[in-house]
């Protein structure tokens, strides 16, 4: 073996050594049910039980044998995570029939249990509870009595994780020995240049930044893990924190999500919804039979106007009457005369006289009809409501004179109103396949109604290129007023089936949509999701979650903060 090969072998051996990866990747472990958040010393023990109705979590500090111990019981609904208040609890132990546990509610969904455990062992507690969601029977197992909290493990790593390469002194000594041995060989090399370059290279090498990949993932965390390292998507939220931040969940179920859109509109009176009452002629208001705001029915008399006639008109009328009466008398006499000599007069003359008489009679009748009072100088006109509705404000007072065409009353019927909406092209697709139109007030979202589409637009608004649609809405209670701004929620008949979550459930992490899923009573995991259609209230989830998972819908922000701070 010549010197060069000897040198190459040496260098290769050295690099082989430093290239040795300390593979301590953490994965595949099953952590079982854990109780303390990662990196923190445990301050209490936990026991938990779930059913289809409830989640029950018990927190307790170390219990001493034979001494009264206090335990804290958290009860919430399984699907919603809502704290259960006012539950009737009966607690017994299958391990000790004599064991009595007193229950005291101390907060919303929080109960304090007090009892004395006589022996040093793990107890089970049978919780018989009855509250609003129903009765249930659960078992809290593994309640340790006479056991201390495990020491915070950050201080002393367990032997399972201790390796020779973890010991600094061993490494330091080993490295020193290795380096000296290496140099011993280098010194013996004849070629000084090679020796020096190797020495310099070794001097530079340590300055390189050696990053080791710490894989962490794929763990089966079992029923209640408190989360692994910072890279894990699973993290713990203690029950008291959940209650404090009002973290609520919803169970995912496949359902139909209809396509919807919202358009803005304005309430207008319907074609029969508003009417005005005007005086047909000049007169004096002699009687007022309604008040402002009164509900009137169609045909009801609102007021009476008395027609007033001045003296010249009166004279004219009287002379006209006399003329007409005289004409009638003349016509009748002429007719009677001709009738007696019927045999000798021309048939044409008789017919003419008959027609004259008929005309005179008709004229007088018409005149009398108009001036019904028959000689008196006044007549009354009743003003009637043309539609049923509410009488709007008016200023007419009894005794005041009204002119022809003057508007005296406005009667508005809010039982049926029109809504005019401006719709843009993008919403038209949903509108065409619309199944229902829900109406809600813009300022007062408490009121709602259902509208029907009356007419499609014939023209397009030139200024903003919107189409004007007219809707009709029943408004029996009169909740919506004329001129009010409303939102019309258009729901399409075409829906897509799938999982959807309330928009409040979705948050964003590293630019991706995420939801938080409650895996166990105190364990939440982060799930990256791909989202589909958003109808303003719900967003469809295409991938990332599965049916029956419980997604956090309230307190999402708090969950995200806890995740980021873990």
For the segment 463-522, give every residue that binds other proteins (CB under 8 A). none
For other proteins, the binding residue among 9, 172, 398, 542 (CB under 8 A) is: 172
Q: Is 302 in the site for other proteins (CB under 8 A)?
A: no
**Considering beta carbons, is residue 62 or 438 the nearer one to other proteins?**
62
- How do 523-528 and 234-236 pair as beta strands? antiparallel
Q: 76 vs 111, 135, 239, CA distance in Å? A: 11, 13, 9
For other proteins, the binding residue among 2, 52, 98, 291 (CB under 8 A) is: 52
Task: Please check whether residue 539 is in contact with residue 531, taking contact to mean a CB–CB distance below 8 angstroms.
Answer: yes
- How do 45-50 and 54-60 pair as beta strands? antiparallel
Provide the minimum distance between the beta carbon of 169 and other proteins in the complex, in angstroms, as a whole number.
Answer: 9
Site for other proteins in 246-285 (CB under 8 A): 253-254
The residue with tokens 């969940």 is: 249
Task: Please check whether residue 84 is in contact with residue 77, taking contact to mean a CB–CB distance below 8 angstroms.
Answer: yes
Residue 286: phi and psi, rounded to 5, are: -100, -20
Taking the chain, what is the end-to-end CA distance rounded to the nearest angstrom? 58
- How do 550-554 and 512-520 pair as beta strands? antiparallel
Helix (H, G, I), strand (E, B) or coil at 376: coil
Residue count at the site for other proteins (CB under 8 A)? 91
**Considering beta carbons, is residue 8 or 187 the nearer one to other proteins?**
187
Supply 165's token pair.
Answer: 């390469």
Provide the minimum distance between the beta carbon of 123 and other proteins in the complex, in angstroms, as a whole number.
Answer: 12
Site for other proteins in 53-72 (CB under 8 A): none
Q: Is 2 in the site for other proteins (CB under 8 A)?
A: no
Rounded-to-integer distance, Cα 490 and Cα 469, Å: 13
**Considering beta carbons, is residue 154 or 295 the nearer one to other proteins?**
154
**Among 160, 183, 383, CA closest to 290:** 383
For other proteins, the binding residue among 100, 114, 154, 281 (CB under 8 A) is: 154
The residue with tokens 């203690």 is: 238
Task: Please check whether residue 117 is in contact with residue 69, taking contact to mean a CB–CB distance below 8 angstroms.
Answer: yes
Site for other proteins in 215-244 (CB under 8 A): 220, 222, 224-229
For other proteins, the binding residue among 7, 11, 31, 494 (CB under 8 A) is: 31
**Among 554, 561, 565, CA closest to 518:** 554
For other proteins, the binding residue among 98, 161, 291, 347 (CB under 8 A) is: 161
Provide the minimum distance between the beta carbon of 130 and other proteins in the complex, in angstroms, as a whole number.
Answer: 5
Sequence-separated (6 or more) residues with CB below 8 Å from residue 407: 276, 277, 278
For other proteins, the binding residue among 120, 212, 359, 512 (CB under 8 A) is: 212
Site for other proteins in 80-139 (CB under 8 A): 92, 94, 122, 124, 126-128, 130, 134-139
Q: Is 45 in the site for other proteins (CB under 8 A)?
A: yes
Site for other proteins in 344-403 (CB under 8 A): none
Q: Is 545 in the site for other proteins (CB under 8 A)?
A: no
Q: Is 12 in the site for other proteins (CB under 8 A)?
A: no
Provide the minimum distance between the beta carbon of 168 and other proteins in the complex, in angstroms, as a whole number.
Answer: 5
């Amino acid at each position: 073996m010549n010197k060069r090969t000897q040198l190459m072998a040496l260098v290769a051996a050295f690099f082989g050594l430093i290239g040795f990866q300390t593979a301590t990747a953490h994965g595949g472990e099953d952590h079982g049910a854990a109780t303390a958040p990662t990196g923190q010393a445990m301050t209490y023990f936990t026991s938990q039980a779930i059913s289809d109705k409830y989640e029950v979590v018990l927190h307790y500090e170390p219990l001493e044998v034979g001494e009264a111990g206090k335990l804290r019981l958290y009860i919430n609904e399984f699907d919603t995570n809502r704290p259960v208040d006012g539950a009737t609890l009966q607690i017994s132990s299958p391990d000790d029939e004599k064991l009595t546990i007193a229950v005291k509610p101390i907060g919303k969904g929080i109960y304090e249990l007090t009892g004395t455990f006589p022996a040093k062992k793990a107890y089970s507690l049978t919780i018989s509870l009855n509250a609003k969601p129903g009765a249930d029977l659960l078992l809290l197992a593994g309640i340790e009595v006479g056991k201390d909290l495990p020491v915070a493990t950050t201080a002393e790593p367990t032997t399972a994780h201790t390796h020779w390469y973890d010991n600094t002194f061993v490494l330091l000594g080993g490295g020193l020995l290795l380096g000296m041995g290496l140099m011993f060989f280098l010194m013996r090399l004849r070629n000084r240049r090679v020796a020096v370059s190797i020495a310099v290279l070794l001097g530079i090498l340590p300055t390189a930044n050696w990053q080791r990949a710490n894989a962490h993932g794929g763990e089966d965390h079992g029923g209640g893990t408190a989360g692994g390292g910072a890279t894990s998507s699973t993290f713990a939220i203690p029950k008291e924190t959940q209650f404090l931040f009002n973290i609520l969940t919803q169970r995912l179920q496949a359902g139909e999500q209809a396509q919807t859109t919202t358009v803005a509109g304005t309430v207008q009176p319907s074609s029969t919804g508003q009417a005005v009452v005007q005086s047909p002629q000049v007169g004096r208001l002699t009687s007022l039979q309604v008040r402002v705001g009164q509900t009137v029915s169609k045909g009801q008399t609102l007021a009476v106007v008395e027609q007033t006639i001045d003296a010249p008109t009166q004279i004219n009328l009287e002379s006209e009457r006399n003329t007409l009466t005289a004409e009638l008398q003349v016509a009748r006499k002429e007719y009677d005369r001709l009738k007696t000599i019927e045999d000798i007069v021309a048939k044409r003359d008789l017919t003419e006289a008959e027609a004259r008489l008929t005309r005179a009679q008709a004229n007088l009748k018409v005149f009398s009809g108009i001036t019904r009072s028959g000689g008196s100088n006044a007549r009354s006109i009743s003003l009637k409501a043309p539609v049923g509705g509410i009488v709007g404000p008016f200023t007419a007072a009894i005794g005041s004179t009204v002119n022809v065409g003057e508007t005296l009353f406005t009667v508005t019927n809010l039982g049926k109103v029109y809504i005019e909406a401006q719709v843009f092209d993008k919403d038209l697709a949903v509108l065409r396949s619309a199944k229902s139109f829900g109406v809600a007030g813009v300022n007062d979202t408490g009121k709602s109604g259902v509208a029907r589409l009356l007419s499609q637009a014939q023209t397009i608004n030139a200024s903003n290129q919107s189409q004007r649609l007219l809707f009709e809405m029943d408004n029996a209670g009169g909740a919506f007023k004329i001129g009010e701004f409303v939102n019309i929620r258009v729901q399409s008949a075409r829906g897509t089936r799938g999982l959807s979550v309330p928009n409040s459930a979705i948050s964003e992490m590293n630019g991706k949509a995420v939801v938080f899923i409650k895996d166990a009573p105190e364990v939440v995991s982060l799930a990256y999701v791909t989202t589909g259609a958003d109808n303003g209230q719900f967003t469809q989830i295409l991938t990332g979650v599965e049916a029956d998972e419980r997604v956090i819908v309230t307190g999402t922000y708090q969950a995200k903060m806890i995740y980021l701070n873990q």
